Amino acid sequence: MSDTNKIFLALKSETRRKILSMLASEPMYLTQLAYNLELGQQAIFRHLQLLEESGLLESDFKDAGQGAPRRYYQIARAVRVEVQISPEMFDVGLFDVPRIEIQTPKEFPELGKIVSECNKLSKSPNSKEKISLYSDLLKKIGKELNKVNIAKSIAEATYSNIRRKIRTISYELLPQRIDQRIIQSLTSRGGDLTINDLALVLNLSENTLKERILVLERSGLIQLEKDQIILV
């Protein structure tokens, strides 16, 4: 799994972002990248090293047909990065993508049909007609992605709205800012956290947190079971 700090450092450079954009189209070797970006090979090599160290790129030697094998770079197939920033949310999601055969998702029947078509088409002989069929599948998958993105936007907007309402209620019920933060963190994470986890989230010592938990427990807002804090 990649490290978020390394990823943000890698994405800081406009040149490295251009490299990722180019490699999203096809794998490329060092000389190609240097030529297209009009930069020296040594400079491009340093950028590629940093991108590999961050986990965003992977490379392998391939036979180029003439001469020695070349080292081709491509965006890592086993990692997916999502950054969500909104008035009520900041989250960096790093997901390991298992290298297994794509399964038909039962929860999304239309998407399932496309996946089945793609699996079936991949077993047929290559031809000009096959390129056209793959193009049609890309159009279909684009429509499905649009549906998913719309649903995700609605879910995120509702999530932000609920977070705002929770914050408003906590302001009215609790005079202490630290108590407000405890309740807000608990509710946004399912109402069930350990003392250690909540201390990390709030950047507080466990002793300070335990003092406030006792106060909130007496008020009837939370319940402490061993080291587990449960929203009542």
Cα 66–Cα 70–Cα 73 angle in degrees, nearest 5: 140
CA dist 46 and 214 (Å) reads: 54
Q: Indicate if the pLDDT at residue 153 is higher than 70.
A: yes
How many percent of the chain have pLDDT more than 70?
94
Cα 176–Cα 179–Cα 182 angle in degrees, nearest 5: 155
Decide: 47 and 41 in contact? Cβ < 8 Å. no
- The domains of the chain, with CATH numbers, are 4-83 (1.10.10.10), 174-231 (1.10.10.10)
CA dist 147 and 153 (Å) reads: 10
Q: pLDDT category, 66, cuts 50, 70, 90?
A: confident
CA dist 207 and 196 (Å) reads: 10
Q: pLDDT category, 1, cuts 50, 70, 90?
A: very low
What does the pLDDT read at residue 98? 57
Q: pLDDT category, 89, cuts 50, 70, 90?
A: confident
Query: Does pTM top 0.75 for this prediction?
Result: no
Q: Indicate if the pLDDT at residue 85 is higher than 60.
A: yes
SS (H, E, C) 164-180: HHHHHHHHHHCCCHHHH
CA dist 163 and 87 (Å) reads: 10
- What 3-state class would DSSP assign to 138? helix
Decide: 156 and 86 in contact? Cβ < 8 Å. yes
Distance of CA 181 to the CA centre of its chain: 26
Decide: 191 and 180 in contact? Cβ < 8 Å. no
Cα 110–Cα 111–Cα 117 angle in degrees, nearest 5: 95
- What 3-state class would DSSP assign to 39? coil
Residue 154 corresponds to which tokens in the numbers above? Answer: 């609605």
- Whole-angstrom CA distances from 176 to 132, 179, 191, 203 are 63, 5, 19, 16
Rg of the Cα atoms in the chain: 25
- Environment class of 198 (CB within 10 Å of its CB; exposed 0-12, middle 13-18, buried 19+): buried
Q: Indicate if the pLDDT at residue 81 is higher than 60.
A: yes
Round to the nearest angstrom and report the end-to-end CA distance of the chain: 36
pLDDT digits (tens, 9 = 90+) for 93-135: 777 765 555 666 678 888 888 988 998 999 999 999 999 999 9
The one-letter amino acid at 213? I
pLDDT digits (tens, 9 = 90+) for 40-60: 999 999 999 999 999 999 999
